[in-house]
Amino acid sequence: MKSLVLSGGTGTRLRPLSHSMPKQLVPVANKPVLFHALEALAASGVTETGIIINARNTSIPSAVGDGSRFGMAITYLPQESPQGLAHCVMIARDFLADDDFVMYLGDNIFSPGITEELAAFRRDRPTAQLLLSKVSNPSAYGIAELDGQNRVTALEEKPARPRSDLAVTGAFFFTPEIHEAVDNTKPSWRGELEITDAIQWLVSHDHEVRGTVYSGFWKDTGTLHDLLECNRVLLEALEPGIQGSVDTLSRVYGPVVVEPGARVERSVLVGPTVIGAGSIVEDSYVGAFSSLGRGCRLQDAGVESSIILDHASVRGVRTLHDSIVGKGGDVRLGADSLSKHRLMVGDDCRVEIPA
């Protein structure tokens, strides 16, 4: 069983973070979103993965490597420009050959993974199987309609008057018949080859396309709010462990990870929380659902429900909540006074907060 992981998007909704890194490498629970995807696939038994990347992108191959850390072999498949999900299947044709495969959007989080769903596909082997999720705003998604036997009868992209609340998520299971469907797909009004159109072609030509409502947590990490929600959900499964140093004047409550080389002094940590390797936390409060990357520095700071990327610092600001600070970002106290602060700070930026 192979997988095709799509990691070629531009991530415009996550700027300024996505100016300096692909959105798939933004960390949640101190691990890039893409790593969560690859681990989920490996846990499902996938051993060969093709990753679609922007043709000019070198950061994803540098971060992921040859795949050995995930127990799989990885092939990188460059895409000159985003032309739709079905186009990704088209350019991966030689890699996929005549094998069944799972297509996984590299900026999606599925918790606790897709092992059961992949096993069901292998057992029943419909032409295609979609993972679906009930949503409150179906007009914002591709929507699937099911009959009484969980067969997909229709698909519609962002319908003005949706006839279903079942959104198509970022995991698809395909047999080789999908290639004929892709070859018969025409560009949409967006000028892209839509995978929903290819799947609709299968439905219209009497192929068996099934839908499974995903029982776990699913989220497309396309916005600040989505990233923070994923961070919270994944941290809830945290296995606590103190490998760095925590002095006797500090207090730790709930599941907390302090990675090797990290130092905590005169501070309060409330789990679930991760303090990354080599980070220093002094005279600070780190509240629940926070993750600090490697080499961060907190001094006289208060951080809660936030993501602090590698080598970032927060000094003198005790009101950071639901925020993201990019790599090397510097948030520090200024002159005036505000009661709360909510920030998304890009890499290597400096922000001064009024006192």
Same domain, 331 and 257: yes
Q: Are residues 99 and 179 in the same domain?
A: yes
Kindly state whether residues 266 and 166 are assigned to the same domain: no
Q: What pTM was computed for the model?
A: 0.88
Where does a domain end: 157, 189, 223? 223
Residue 91: CA atoms inside 13 Å, Cβ hemisphere, count?
23
Is 229 part of a structural domain of the chain? no
Give the rounded distance of the alpha carbon of 301 from its chain centre.
28
What is the domain range of residue 182?
Answer: 2-223
Query: Which residue in 94, 104, 159 sits closest to 131, CA to CA?
Result: 104
Provide the number of structural domains found in the chain: 2
Asked whether residue 178 falls in the same domain as residue 307, the answer is no
Tens digit of each residue's pLDDT (9 = 90 or more) over 165-214: 999 999 999 999 999 999 999 988 777 888 999 999 999 999 999 999 99
Q: State residue 340's pLDDT score.
A: 60
Is the domain of 52 the same as that of 194?
yes
Domain containing 262 — which CATH number? 2.160.10.10
83 class by beta-carbon count within 10 Å (0-12 exposed, 13-18 middle, 19+ buried)? middle
> pLDDT by residue (tens digit) across 250-295?
999 999 999 999 999 999 999 999 999 999 999 999 999 999 999 9
Residues 194 and 243 in one domain: no
How many whole angstroms separate alpha carbon 34 and alpha carbon 62? 13
Tell me whether residue 138 is in a domain: yes
Q: How far is CA 258 from the centre of its chain?
A: 23
**Are residue 210 and residue 259 in the same domain, yes or no?**
no
